[in-house]
Amino acid sequence: MNLQERIAASFGAQGLMTTLGARLALVQEGEVHVVLPHSPALSQQQGFMHGGAIASILDSACGYAALTRAPAGHEVVTAEFKINMPRPALGQRFLAIGRVLSAGRMLTVCGGEVRAYADEGEAFKVVALMQATIVNVKA
């Protein structure tokens, strides 16, 4: 099983991603994308997407980005993350991008953002920015 297959299998085993309706969109060395369509089932009280849903897909994107750089025989767990939400998560589709910023033996630092698309076009607004610390643990 190569890395892409391994990550696809792991993502598929995340009950929360299925519940939210999120989909793995890209896996490459040091970068992973997750897509989430808008749904009222994921809203906060004003009808925008809840920050927790946005944080969830970005956490998964960062975690799997870290996994692409983890030493052989290791899994990853998120030790902590920090997320800014500079504007309401308003859109039809949300793209979470997680990227490795620094990969150590034990800890990986990832940066991420969530882009909100109002329609099928290319234009987007950044609705979330994350900095996360991921731990390599022996599988």
Q: Which residues contact 7 (CB under 8 A, 6 or more apart)?
A: 24, 27, 32, 64, 67, 68
Taking CB under 8 A as the binding criterion, the range among 25-33, 116-124, 125-133 that sits at the site for its own copies is 125-133
Q: Which of 3, 25, 90, 101 binds its own copies (CB under 8 A)?
A: 101
Q: Could you say whether residue 8 binds its own copies (CB under 8 A)?
A: no
Put residue 21 in one of left, alpha, beta given phi > 0 → left and psi -120 to 50 → alpha. Answer: left
List the structure tokens of 14: 């995340």
Q: Which is nearer to its own copies, 28 or 39 (CB)?
A: 39
Residue from 4, 35, 74, 133 touching its own copies (CB under 8 A): that is: 133
Rule CB under 8 A: is residue 85 a binding residue for its own copies?
yes
Q: Which of 27, 65, 83, 97 binds its own copies (CB under 8 A)?
A: 83
User: Is 88 among the residues that bind its own copies (CB under 8 A)?
Assistant: yes
Pattern 38-77, its own copies, x by CB under 8 A: -xxxxxxxx---xxxx-xxx-xx--------------x-x
What angle is formed at CA 26 by the lines to CA 124 and CA 64, rounded to 5 degrees? 105
